[in-house]
Amino acid sequence: CCLFQLTMSLNSSTLLNEENAQGLKRNTECLESLELQTPSSFQDNPFQQLQLASQEVLEKAKKSGRSKCPRCNSSRMFYCYTCFVPVETVPTKEIPTVKLPLKIDIIKHPNETDGKSTAVHAKLLAPDDVTIYKYPCIPEYEEKRHEIALVFPGPNSVSVKEIAFHLQKYTKKGVCASDDDCSREPLRKQAKIEAEEEKNPNECISSSRSEGSRLKKIIFIDSTWNQTNKIITDERLQGLLQIELKTRKTCFWRHQKGKPDTYLSTIEAIYYFLVDYHQEILKESYEGQYDNLLFFFSFMHTLIKDAKCCAGKE
């Protein structure tokens, strides 16, 4: 199949030879026709280095087939994407739980197909720290702009590494929606922070780090890239610090045509943001603390890749 041909090409030492460039291009186009995005920097299993909990429970559920949701009785595979719970054949106690360093809000587009969304993975695996909202029902963020950021690519987006610097500016400015609003009395918390900064003018570096660690909530938009405009232009999201993940490549099997491979699925974006946040802002070594966020994603990636390859061979 086309996937097998591409894999062989990627693993071949002759890949670097100029005369094989056209062959690689044809193989890549063939792979894209299968709607499966496998960046060349990944091995056959891009998740093999992750510290994942045993997926034996998912293997058993796969063999037994679809099962009922314990809440709505709908027939589902692995989990119910409307109730955010595992099905009867997947005991909750056998699903890993991930503790996150900050809260996550996921804003889901109303036309996003529930069964195709990876946002539910985050809710299943980090239930205490993740909340999913269906647009247009979202919280008011204006009064919390100094401690909230939105992950979304754009001309004003900054990297995770730059959060500390930019969040510091947001704090100094307060949470004013406009210059006219800045005439009101500043928040006590803000006044206290500025007083401490004046008292310790030589602690800029440590202060910058503490500003970054004041980030308490991160927002993700769950929709196809063509549907995001309606949400990202909503007035309730205006003025929020925007973060872009520019160095990661997607493994999502529904990668959208015409979009760069740095446009990640929702669960990938959450995972990679947290890894970068852990290292760049918390300044701690990453030892797999959030790997289980990809518990379902990695399993389904392998299932779909193998199924498409087998279909091609037949």
Tell me, what's the pLDDT at 16? 35
Tell me, what's the pLDDT at 311? 62
Tell me, what's the pLDDT at 278? 96
Domain ranges in the chain are 59-95, 102-169+213-313
- Longest Cα–Cα distance in the chain: 73
Tell me, what's the pLDDT at 304? 80
What whole-number distance in Å separates Cα of residue 250 and Cα of residue 256?
11
**CA 295 vs CA 60, 94, 169, 287: distances in Å:** 15, 11, 37, 16
Residues paired with residue 246 on neighbouring β-strands, in sequence order = none
Query: 136: cis peptide before it, omega within 30°?
Result: yes
Q: For the chain, 314 residues long, give each residue's pLDDT as a single digit of tens.
A: 443 333 333 343 333 344 344 443 433 343 333 333 344 434 467 788 899 999 999 999 999 999 999 999 999 999 999 999 999 999 999 999 999 999 999 999 998 888 888 999 999 999 999 999 999 999 999 888 889 999 998 888 999 999 988 888 775 455 444 434 433 333 333 333 333 334 443 444 444 445 445 899 999 999 877 778 889 999 999 999 999 987 677 776 565 555 656 668 899 999 999 999 999 999 999 999 999 999 999 998 888 876 666 666 54
